[in-house]
Amino acid sequence: MTTHHDDSGAGLGEEEAKAQFVNTTPHEINLILGGTTIAIPTSDVSFRVRSESVTVGQLTVEGSPVDVRVRQFSDVTCMIGGEEVPLPNQQEGVFYIVSRITAEALPDRSDLLMVDGTVRDDDGRIIGCTGFAL
């Protein structure tokens, strides 16, 4: 978990509030803010979205049939240290950095953040982000 001060007022009120960020992704998150980079390490918490594919059609690519599928997402589970546990309740000042699929699977939660404003190096690799999206 990373603790950070934020006075943006985005969901935290107008006063400066202490927030905790839990990075549930398998990658360190580098927040690039002007000339400063803040690294948010991975945690032992991960969210998993169950999904299944349903074939809705077929295309032909260079003479070979290729299925066209729709992914249907269902339950979201939480893993802590490799053990499945109930999803944590929302807590004031605690934000979980999650994948886009997880955030979209839980649209009623206001504590789930996705990286936004990706920053790439000269070779096109993502090296960080400039903020978060709800």
| Each residue's pLDDT tens digit, 35-47 | 899 999 999 999 9
pTM of the entire predicted model: 0.77
How much is the pLDDT for 73? 85
How much is the pLDDT for 16? 57
| Each residue's pLDDT tens digit, 94-113 | 999 999 999 999 999 999 99
Cβ neighbours for 5, distance < 8 A, ≥ 6 positions apart: 16, 17, 18, 19
Helix (H, G, I), strand (E, B) or coil at 126: strand
